[in-house]
Structure formats: C-alpha cells, structure tokens
C-alpha cells in the first residue's frame, strides 16, 4: 500500500468553506465508488482555516498520474463533483497553471 499527502486552499470566503464542508459530510456515492475503483483504499481531508490537507492510501499499483484522471471518467458525477469543488478551491501560491492539489514531501516518520 502507498500513501500520499496533498494540500490545497479553499477560497477565502466563509460561505465557500461551509459549502465544501457540507459536500464532504455527504459525498456523492458515485464519487467514492469511483475512487475505490481506481485503487484508493482510504482518504481523509483535514481543514485549518482555509488550508486543506488530504492524506490517502492506495493500492501498490496505483499511479496518481494515471488513476486520478481515470477516476473522472468512470461516472459523469465524478467530473461534476470535481468541477463543483474547483469553484470552491484555490491553488497554493507557486502552483503550476491547472494544478490543484499539490503533493507534499514526507520529511519525518515515527
């Protein structure tokens, strides 16, 4: 099993943050099923202010560059979900154009 850590900001708007939290309190079943179908075993997202931290574990053969885009095509609701989330999110400073969630580097393990 592989693990990944990524980060992203939400828009600096209390209403957008509240909407993001509400959507994730009841994610669409098509989205969670598609994530599992591409090899995601577990996914957790934390929030501090407007900064998001996502940690997920995936199967050994999972490749984010291949499988996360593939997830979008497994059900039309997946792309709809991502488009909706994009309206609430904001890339971190220094993020490449079109990039959203950015990979974090693990620097410690106990």
Complete domains list, the chain, with CATH: 2-103 (3.30.70.1090)
Q: What is the pTM of this model?
A: 0.92
Alpha-carbon separation of residue 25 from 19, 31, 37, 39, 108 (angstroms): 10, 13, 21, 22, 30
Cα–Cα distance between 67 and 21 in angstroms, integer? 25
User: 9-55 pLDDT, tens per residue?
Assistant: 999 999 999 999 999 999 999 999 999 999 999 999 999 999 999 99
Q: Is the pLDDT of residue 110 over 90?
A: yes
Phi and psi at residue 5, in whole multiples of 5°? -130, 130
The pLDDT of residue 35 is 98
Cα 36 vs. chain centroid, distance in angstroms? 13
Q: Is the pLDDT of residue 98 over 90?
A: no
The overall average pLDDT reported for the chain is: 96
């Amino acid at each position: 099993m592989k693990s990944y850590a990524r980060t992203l900001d939400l828009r600096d708007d209390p209403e957008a943050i509240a909407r993001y939290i509400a959507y994730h309190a009841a994610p669409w079943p098509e989205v969670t099923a598609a994530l599992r179908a591409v090899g995601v075993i577990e996914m957790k997202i934390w929030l501090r202010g407007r900064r998001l931290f996502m940690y997920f574990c995936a199967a050994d053969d999972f490749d984010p560059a291949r499988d996360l885009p593939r997830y979008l095509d497994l059900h039309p609701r997946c792309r709809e979900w991502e488009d909706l989330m994009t309206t609430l999110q904001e890339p971190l400073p220094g993020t490449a154009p079109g990039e959203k969630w950015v990979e974090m580097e693990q620097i410690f393990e106990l």
